[in-house]
């Protein structure tokens, strides 16, 4: 069982790492109660890309390290991550980075991006 987001983009939030409001860091409009409904359009694209750049600069070469790790591993634990120099905080930033890329790609492709996130 997990928490999902669905709409123009779909996926599952990472258990124990990513909150249901992870997309809030990229802007958008929030509607509640059982779900957070996100809506982004072309006016939001610059702020999404700006936050992606901030995360990418923060992680630096760790983006490649994490992507390489998950290309070779379908599951993980913190001991495995530590062995390759990835911290829990870095992984948390990376999963938000992936979500932000999904949002940006969706905006570029559709001129808007709307999805709801389970709370």
pLDDT of residue 93: 95
pLDDT of residue 1: 55
Helix (H, G, I), strand (E, B) or coil at 8: coil
pLDDT of residue 32: 59
Helix (H, G, I), strand (E, B) or coil at 61: coil
pLDDT of residue 112: 97
The domain segmentation of the chain, as residue ranges, is 4-108
pLDDT at 3 over 60: yes
Which are the contacts of 72, defined by CB distance < 8 A and separation ≥ 6? none
The beta strand positions in the chain, using DSSP E, are 4-7, 11-12, 35-41, 112-118
* Sole residue written with tokens 């987001």: 5
7-23 pLDDT, tens digit per residue, is 899 999 988 889 888 98
26-78 pLDDT, tens digit per residue, is 988 876 567 778 999 999 999 999 999 999 999 999 999 999 999 999 889 99
Tell me the CA end-to-end span of the chain in Å, nearest whole number: 13
């Amino acid at each position: 069982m997990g928490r999902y987001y669905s709409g123009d983009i779909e996926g599952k939030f990472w258990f124990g790492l990513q909150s249901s409001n992870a997309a809030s860091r990229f802007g958008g409009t929030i509607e509640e109660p059982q779900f957070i409904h996100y809506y982004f359009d072309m006016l939001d694209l610059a702020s999404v890309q700006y936050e992606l750049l901030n995360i990418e600069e923060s992680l630096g070469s760790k983006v490649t390290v994490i992507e390489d790790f998950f290309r070779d591993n379908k599951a993980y634990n913190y001991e495995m991550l530590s062995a390759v120099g990835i911290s829990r905080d870095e992984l948390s930033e990376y999963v938000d980075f992936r979500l932000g890329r999904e949002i940006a790609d969706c905006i570029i492709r559709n001129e808007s991006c709307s999805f709801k996130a389970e709370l």
